[in-house]
């Protein structure tokens, strides 16, 4: 990084630290913070979409659809989320490979589960064993994103389902009286009004999502926890930058990072709440109206 970093053993003090914190592995560490943010930014909208679909399914008049929606929303209540995080990626991986196996190797006659092994033909492997490293990493990350989206979608479905029921019924009835169809009343009256009721739950969910991101480590993604363990461990003089066991300081750094992230989220969500309360028939909305008048 810096020109004076060519011979690390000759450095000391701040120069040493500057070179140490900008070496190749640390650059990967800093980039992994980006991985966490990326996961948050992708997962949040996808999970919200899953949740919206789940909430609509749970309200459906069609019995099988309603059962699916209710099961999906109920699923996260009794079972630890980490069980889903461990289960979903490997289950999806096997599911995809099985589907591809059925499609690509129809004349394969050996069973897929042989004792303690899961065997599919070589063309059905995901990703193909010949593909480069980044494909494997992206595939792993994608599975992780889907796992997060499924679990947090179920949480979000719970929140949105409650929010849809919280919108005063008179609003829907009025829409009906104006001649709107059920679909029109849903999209034009219910959906725009439900967000303020959903917001406390959704902001909490965002906080839980932020605090669930270190679980990426369990899914085999090289995230900040992985690098903190890797870089913090004691380095002997064989390494360019030898140091004793510094994992405590690395994890302290992660702690501070997460505290900052939650604090910033809190501030932004508080602003959003103020914004969404505007013009609503709630106490907060009424207070804003009075303050303006």
Partner 1 sequence: MSCLQTIQDYALRSVGIGERLLPKSDITLCEQVTLIGSGLIWNIYFGALALLFGFFLATGLALARNARNPLLRKPADWFIFVFRGSPLFIQFFLAYEAFVLLPRAGFDLNLGFVEITLATSWLTKAWAGALIVLFLNTAAYSGEIFHGALRSIPKGDVEAADAYGLHGFSRFRRVIWPTMLRLAWPAYTNEAIFLFHATTLVYFSGFPAWRQKGDALYYASYFADKTFNPFIPYPIVAGYFILVTLVIILIFGAINRHLNRHLPQTARPKMKFRLQVIR
Whether a cis peptide bond, with omega within 30° of 0, leads into 52 is no
Closest approach, Cβ 2 to partner 1, in A, equals: 30
Q: Which is nearer to partner 1, 189 or 205 (CB)?
A: 205
Closest approach, Cβ 183 to partner 1, in A, equals: 27
Q: Which is nearer to partner 1, 86 or 191 (CB)?
A: 86
Q: Which is nearer to partner 1, 60 or 262 (CB)?
A: 262
Cα separation, 186 vs 164, in Å, equals 9
Interface with partner 1 (CB under 8 A): 76-83, 86-87, 90-91, 94, 113, 115-118, 155, 158-159, 201, 204-205, 208, 210-215, 217-218, 225, 228-229, 232, 245, 247-248, 251-252, 254-255, 258-259, 262-263
- What is the CA 35 to chain-centroid distance, rounded? 11
Closest approach, Cβ 244 to partner 1, in A, equals: 10
Residues in Cβ contact with 93 at an 8 Å cutoff, skipping those fewer than 6 apart? 126, 143
Q: What angle do CA 129, 225, 269 make, to 5 degrees?
A: 110
Q: Which is nearer to partner 1, 213 or 277 (CB)?
A: 213
Adjacent-strand bridge partners of 113: 118
Q: Which is nearer to partner 1, 190 or 225 (CB)?
A: 225
Tell me which DSSP letter residue 242 carries. -
Closest approach, Cβ 229 to partner 1, in A, equals: 8
Cα separation, 167 vs 183, in Å, equals 16
């Amino acid at each position: 990084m810096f020109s004076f970093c060519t011979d690390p053993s000759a450095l000391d003090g701040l120069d040493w630290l500057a070179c140490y914190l900008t070496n190749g592995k640390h650059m990967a560490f800093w980039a992994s913070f980006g991985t966490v943010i990326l996961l948050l930014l992708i997962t949040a909208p996808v999970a919200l979409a899953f949740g919206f679909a789940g909430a609509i399914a749970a309200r459906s008049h069609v019995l099988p659809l309603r059962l699916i929606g209710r099961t999906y929303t109920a699923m996260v209540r009794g079972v630890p989320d980490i069980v889903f995080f461990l289960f979903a990626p490997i289950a999806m991986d096997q599911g995809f490979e099985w589907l591809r196996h059925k499609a690509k190797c129809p004349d394969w006659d050996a069973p897929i589960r042989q004792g303690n092994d899961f065997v599919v033909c070589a063309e059905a492997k995901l990703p193909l064993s010949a593909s480069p490293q980044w494909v494997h990493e992206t595939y792993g990350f994608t599975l992780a994103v889907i796992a997060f989206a499924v679990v947090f979608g179920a949480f979000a479905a719970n929140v949105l389902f409650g929010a849809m029921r919280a919108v005063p019924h008179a609003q829907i009835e009025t829409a009906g009286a104006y001649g709107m169809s059920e679909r029109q009343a849903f999209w034009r009256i219910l959906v725009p009004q439900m967000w303020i009721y959903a917001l406390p739950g959704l902001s909490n969910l965002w906080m839980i999502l932020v605090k669930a991101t270190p679980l990426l480590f369990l899914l085999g993604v090289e995230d900040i926890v992985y690098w903190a363990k890797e870089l913090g461990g004691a380095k002997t003089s064989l390494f360019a930058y030898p140091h004793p066991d510094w994992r405590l300081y690395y994890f302290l750094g992660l702690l501070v990072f997460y505290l900052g992230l939650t604090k910033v989220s809190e501030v932004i969500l508080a602003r959003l709440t103020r914004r969404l309360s505007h013009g609503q028939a709630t106490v907060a909305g009424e207070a804003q109206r009075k303050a303006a008048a």
